[in-house]
């Protein structure tokens, strides 16, 4: 059965347009609440959000949906996605909800759901919730004497700060480090600078003045120019950039050069391998991760398992085969010894621990391999369905020709976005000119077909 509402990372769309309307959020709250009403105890949902204006629209709608099926609601306000996952477990709640469109601009929003174990939902759970949404919701309403209640958790920020600090090696401090932290005007704008300051760093905060509209605008992990500029301007030792809901992270060294998720996985994987902490014999990454990462790990006897794009697929493989390090090139880093989902702050602290212990500059510690030339371009498709465009003979012919040119010299990856009407075209190989040429040829074919 195909999911109608859920994508690769929850439900996402333009705020106040379907499916990101108050009506749909209400129905989703009712259906998810009913799905997770199991047993005779008082049931609880935790709701967090990022800093988008539309959070004020979706939060009360979801709350009303849960209350109408007899579920209590704990509201934690703006907090990172991993904080909601952590609090769901800590509070023994029945499910957690994060209202966020992650790295997307403020016009978009999304709803991510976590089960009582703090993990994102399975396809089966999502299908069951969708079925309830579209079939007989009225029967799930409880009587007026069994309605749920809602309350705010005043110390949610403090709880998450202490949780994150506890993942940093005991006995280490960040004294002597000047760190630029770019919070993307998003969910971590309070917690991230506080964590670093309490561990002893001199902190230069950026992107910590959200106004409902400026989340991810010219800042954060997808707009790292701001981070590099601030590192240079302040003579900082390191820069850290989070995205809007702080489940992904990228860094830059003291020269402002970018350190992506592949380099971070290489560093943490190698460090944990040498200390005996690495489980599963390797790490899990997606098909987007650079071949340079795979070669680096192989030279050290560390395996690399690839999955489809999406941190949920990385995590599913990690849980199935016992890995404890995984992630994406984009900066979703999952360290399952510490958290149940990607956590940008937790990953950054592991990197900072390695930096402190080495006593060397970030430029020497954080870049462990030379990536192969890799190019990713996105094409927005609005006139025709994405699947129809990809199946067109002109596009399939261009893809076949590109694969022939790259044969034995690189690889090609074409996929549709799970969250936006985009087609992503990626090529990788030893010859940078060839990589660029094959990507452009496919992009041109897609644009002609899509009109």
- Over residues 76-121, the pLDDT tens digits come to 999 999 999 999 999 999 999 999 999 999 999 999 999 999 999 9
- Token digits of residue 14: 């333009």
Q: What is the pLDDT of residue 30?
A: 97
Q: Decide if 221 is catalytic.
A: no
Residue 326, pLDDT above cutoff 90: yes
Q: What is the pLDDT of residue 48?
A: 98
User: Domain limits of the chain?
Assistant: 11-154, 176-246, 261-365, 374-450
The residues with which 13 forms a beta bridge, in sequence order, are 109
**Model confidence at 355, in pLDDT bands (50, 70, 90)?**
very high
Q: What is the pLDDT of residue 395?
A: 92
Strands 325-327 and 333-335: antiparallel
Topology of domain 261-365 in CATH is: Alpha-D-Glucose-1,6-Bisphosphate; Chain A, domain 3 (3.40.120)
* Letter string b/e over residues 18-53, b meaning 16 or more CB atoms within 10 A of that residue's CB: ebbbbebbbbbbbbbbbbbbeeeeebbbbbbbbbbb
**Model confidence at 2, in pLDDT bands (50, 70, 90)?**
low
Is the pLDDT higher at 22 or at 309? Answer: 22
Q: What is the pLDDT of residue 8?
A: 77
Q: What is the pLDDT of residue 385?
A: 86
Domain 176-246, classified CATH 3.40.50.300, yes or no:
no
Closest CA to 425 of 370, 371, 380: 380
**Model confidence at 7, in pLDDT bands (50, 70, 90)?**
confident
Q: What is the pLDDT of residue 407?
A: 84
Q: What is the pLDDT of residue 299?
A: 97
**Model confidence at 450, in pLDDT bands (50, 70, 90)?**
confident
**Reported pTM:** 0.90
250-262 pLDDT, tens digit per residue, is 999 999 999 999 9
CA dist 13 to 6, 9, 21, 112, 232, Å?
11, 12, 9, 12, 36
* Residue in the block written with tokens 């605008």: 217
Question: CB within 8 A of 362, min separation 6: which ones?
Answer: 237, 238, 251, 253, 254, 259, 355
Q: Do 433 and 410 touch, CB atoms closer than 8 A?
A: no
Q: What is the DSSP string of 91-144?
A: TT-SEEEEE--TTS-TTEEEEEEE-TTSSBPPHHHHHHHHHHHHS-GGGGPPPG
Is the pLDDT higher at 248 or at 415? Answer: 248
Instruction: From the candidates 68, 100, 102, 336, give the one annotated as an active-site residue.
Output: 102
Closest CA to 106 of 11, 224, 223, 217: 217
Return the percentage of the chain with pLDDT > 90, whole number.
86
Residue 1, pLDDT above cutoff 60: no
For residue 307, the SS3 value is strand
Average pLDDT over residues 390-394: 91
The CA distance from 69 to 59, in Å, is 16
Beta strand extents in 292-355 (DSSP E only): 303-307, 325-327, 333-335
- Token digits of residue 86: 């952590």
Q: Which CATH number applies to 374-450: 3.30.300.130, 3.30.310.50, 3.30.420.40, 3.40.50.10090?
A: 3.30.310.50
Return the percentage of the chain with pLDDT > 70, whole number.
99
Superfamily of the domain at 11-154 = Alpha-D-Glucose-1,6-Bisphosphate, subunit A, domain 3 (3.40.120.10)
Report the chain's mean pLDDT, rounded to a whole number: 94
CATH topology agreement for domains 11-154 and 176-246 = yes
What is the arrangement of strands in the sheet containing 410-416, beginning at the earlier edge strand?
374-380, 422-429, 410-416
The CA distance from 82 to 164, in Å, is 10
């Amino acid at each position: 059965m195909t999911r109608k509402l859920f994508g690769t990372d929850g439900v996402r769309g333009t705020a106040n347009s379907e499916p990101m309307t108050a009506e749909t959020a209400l129905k989703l709250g009712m259906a998810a609440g009913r799905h997770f009403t199991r047993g005779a105890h008082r049931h609880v949902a935790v709701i967090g959000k990022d800093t988008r204006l539309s959070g004020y629209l979706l939060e009360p709608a979801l709350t009303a949906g849960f209350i109408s099926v007899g579920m209590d609601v704990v509201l934690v306000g703006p907090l990172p996605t991993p904080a909601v996952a952590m609090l769901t477990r800590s509070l023994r709640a029945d499910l957690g909800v994060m209202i966020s469109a992650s790295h997307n601009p403020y016009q978009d929003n999304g709803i991510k759901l976590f089960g009582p174990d703090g993990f994102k939902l399975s396809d089966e759970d999502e299908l069951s919730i969708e079925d309830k949404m579209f079939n007989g919701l009225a029967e799930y309403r409880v009587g007026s004497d069994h309605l749920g209640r809602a309350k705010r958790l005043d110390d949610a920020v403090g709880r998450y700060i202490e949780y994150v600090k506890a993942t940093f090696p005991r006995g280490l401090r960040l004294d002597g480090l000047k760190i630029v932290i770019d919070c993307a005007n998003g969910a971590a704008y309070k917690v991230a600078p506080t964590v670093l300051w309490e561990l002893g760093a001199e902190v230069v905060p950026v992107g910590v003045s959200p106004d409902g509209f400026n989340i991810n605008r010219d800042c954060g992990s997808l707009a790292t120019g701001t981070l590099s500029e601030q590192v240079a301007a302040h003579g900082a030792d390191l820069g850290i950039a989070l995205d809007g809901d702080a489940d992904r992270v990228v860094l830059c060294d003291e020269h402002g050069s970018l350190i992506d998720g592949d380099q971070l996985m290489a560093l943490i994987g190698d460090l944990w391998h040498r200390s005996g902490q690495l489980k599963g014999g390797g790490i899990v990454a997606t098909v987007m991760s650079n071949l340079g990462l795979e070669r680096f790990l192989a030279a050290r006897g560390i395996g690399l398992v690839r999955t489809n794009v999406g941190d949920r697929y990385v995590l599913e493989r990690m849980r199935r085969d016992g890995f404890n390090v995984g992630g994406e090139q984009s900066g979703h880093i999952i360290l399952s010894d510490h958290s149940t989902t990607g956590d940008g702050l937790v990953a950054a602290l592991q990197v900072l621990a390695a930096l402190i212990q080495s006593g060397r500059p970030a430029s020497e510690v954080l870049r462990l391999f030379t990536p192969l030339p890799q190019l990713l371009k996105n094409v927005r498709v609005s006139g025709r369905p994405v699947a129809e465009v990809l199946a067109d003979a002109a596009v399939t012919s261009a893809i076949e020709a590109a694969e022939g040119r790259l044969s034995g010299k690189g690889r090609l990856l074409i996929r549709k976005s799970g969250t936006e009407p985009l087609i992503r075209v990626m090529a990788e190989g030893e010859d940078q000119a060839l990589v660029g040429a094959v990507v452009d040829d496919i992009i041109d074919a897609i644009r002609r077909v899509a009109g």
